[in-house]
Amino acid sequence: MAEQFFARANNPVGPMAQRDPAAFRSGIAEGLQDLGRAGQRVAQNEEALRQQEAEANRRIEEIQARRRESHVVADGMGRWAEVQADVATALDEARRNTKPGAPDYEEQADRIVADKVGAFRQTLPDDPEIIDRFGPMLAQYAAQTKLRERGWALERKATFESDNIGKWADAQGNALTSEPQSPVFLEDLLQHTDALFGGLDMDGTTRDAAVHRQKGQFVQQFFDGYIGAGQWQAARAMLDSKQLDDLLSPDDRQAIAKRIGASEHLAHREAEMAASRVRDQARDGIDAIQAKIRGGVVPSSEEMRAVRASAKAAGLDQSELVELDVMDVQAETNRRYAGVPSMTMRRDRDALEQRIAQGKASEPDQIMKAQLDKLVDAADSREAEQYKALIDQGVQGKAAVLAQLAPRGAAGFDIAQKAQNGLGYFTLVHPSVRMQALQGGEDLKANPKLIDQNRASEEFTAQIGLQGRSLNEQAIEGYRTVANAIYAEEAKTQGFEQFEPTVYRRAVNLALGASRGPDGQWRGGMGLVNGRHVMLPDWASAEQFSRLLSRSDFSNARYGDGSPVNARDVQKNYTPVLIGDDRGAATYVFVNAAGQRLKTAKGEDYTQTARPPAGAR
């Protein structure tokens, strides 16, 4: 109910209206109620704001925690990559420094991995979630790395043990095959085999098989020693005793029996040949005496008695005499080889020369050899004369001549030399570079500046090394001429402005007969063997020759003072020097830097012959 107000005026004031007290109390209550409701709304709004603020703070904390975790994980990832690199470096270093066979490598690798991974794990915060993120990766890496390194160590162990077992077995095998050994020696060796193989890290089944196999090999080599020495009777007696049958298969036993039979047959044959040689020697003695008599030389009584004693011991009839003297031998030689190809004469002459070198030739043999020298020389000269007109036609003519002569080996070389001095050395180069060599020779004549002769001479001398000491001046000049020609053609083609040592060294190698096979390997020529230049057989690469040489124990070689050689010293300080090549079978002497050669027990030059394997030529 509205209150009544009265203006101040000089109007008379009437009585004020009175409000009901109950009505007044009702209005106050309503106002208080409105005020209470407003306060409640304010309180509710404040609670909502507090909740919103708490939610915002929680979300901010989550974001910050997530960022902190992301930083820790990313940092850990980067540091883990560095740890992996450190582990790889440490393992590589450990591999390089480990002993042959890697006996302690597995434990060392485990320590490296455990230490590096453990150290990294210690850098991670003590947060289960972080640990859970990195833990499986670290465990898997450690396990896989240890397993991989264990595999590497086992591979090195297997290779090391296999190589050393092989070396030991080869050494014992050499002792068994080089000369006959007593059964006691073999028995001891078999016991040693049990003892040594018992110390190897093998399971029982594998060890038993390896021991049985190795013992069987030793038994076969034991028989090889007796058979190789011609003691087939002793070998047969031991085989028949059956004491070693438990280590031989039926096939092995049969093979040994066949070899014993072949050795027996060879022994009988050699006995027959020896008797025949004795008879031949007796006849040679009679021939010599008769030749001297017919030549007007009176033999002494001592010579006569010696010839009669020799003839009687050989079983010759006393009436058997030789009808030839020196002139008769020469005449007979001329008649025998009339119209015979020079190749046949050369072959027979070489056989006689070998007998002379062995001290087994009779005087008629020596006379025949000298006469054959003349016949071969004459035949070569006649054939060489036929090629001169073709040679005069230039490079193509020379190539045609060489195509005919090169396949004939030494004979072709001699004929080419007679046809034109120096041409023989072009027969020694591989057909693939022969035309280049011939053309290069012509290029060099036209332009001597294609090659620096002084530099070339120095390189040539350095490359042939000790081999050069075994070559005469004519051979050295011949090889050098071919090398210069090959280089000159290359220099002209490539337009070299200065001397190229690498190209020249290859030219020298080609001049010495080197060729590259379908497999890309160089064979023949000069090769580096144990760091020294060696003239290789035409079928062998430097690697093949090195392997052959490494298997030699030089057991029959002696130093100049007669003492046995040390195989390792020979490999290190002696150079194989080629002194002969008979259809690929290359014979070498061994010379040190001072020019001293290895000797045999008899004081002769010690030699080894490298023979081509089947199918190599």
**Mean predicted confidence (pLDDT) in 551-561:** 92
Q: 229: pLDDT confidence band, cut at 50, 70 and 90?
A: confident
Residue 312 has pLDDT above 90, yes or no: no
**Mean predicted confidence (pLDDT) in 121-140:** 88
Neighbours of 165 (CB within 10 A): 15
Q: Answer yes or no: are the C-beta atoms of 515 and 430 closer than 8 Å.
A: yes
Q: Answer yes or no: are the C-beta atoms of 465 and 575 closer than 8 Å.
A: yes
What does R_g of the chain's alpha carbons equal in angstroms?
Answer: 50
**Would you mind telling me the total number of residues written for the chain in this entry?**
617
- Which stretch, 49-63, 72-86, 328-342, has highest mean pLDDT? 72-86
Q: Answer yes or no: are the C-beta atoms of 560 and 599 closer than 8 Å.
A: yes
pLDDT of residue 299: 53
pLDDT of residue 135: 87
The per-residue pLDDT for range 262-273, each reduced to its tens digit, is 887 877 777 777
Q: 5: pLDDT confidence band, cut at 50, 70 and 90?
A: very low
Cut 0.75: pTM above it: no
pLDDT of residue 4: 46
Neighbours of 375 (CB within 10 A): 20
**Mean predicted confidence (pLDDT) in 298-320:** 63
pLDDT of residue 311: 67
pLDDT of residue 231: 80
**Mean predicted confidence (pLDDT) in 233-259:** 83
Neighbours of 554 (CB within 10 A): 20
The per-residue pLDDT for range 376-417, each reduced to its tens digit, is 888 889 999 999 999 999 999 999 999 999 888 888 999 999
The per-residue pLDDT for range 331-384, each reduced to its tens digit, is 567 768 877 888 888 888 888 887 877 788 888 888 888 888 888 888 889 999
Average pLDDT for the chain: 83
Token reading at 279: 């008879």
Q: Answer yes or no: are the C-beta atoms of 399 and 357 closer than 8 Å.
A: no
- CA torsion sign, 171 to 173 to 178 to 179? positive
Parallel, antiparallel, or unpaired: how do β-strands 574-582 and 585-592 relate?
A: antiparallel
**Mean predicted confidence (pLDDT) in 240-260:** 84
Instruction: Tell me how far apart the alpha carbons of residues 358 and 271 are, in angstroms, rounded to a whole number.
Output: 19
Comparing 220 with 309, which gets the higher pLDDT? 220
Token reading at 282: 């007796």
- Which stretch, 298-302, 363-367, 498-502, has highest mean pLDDT? 498-502
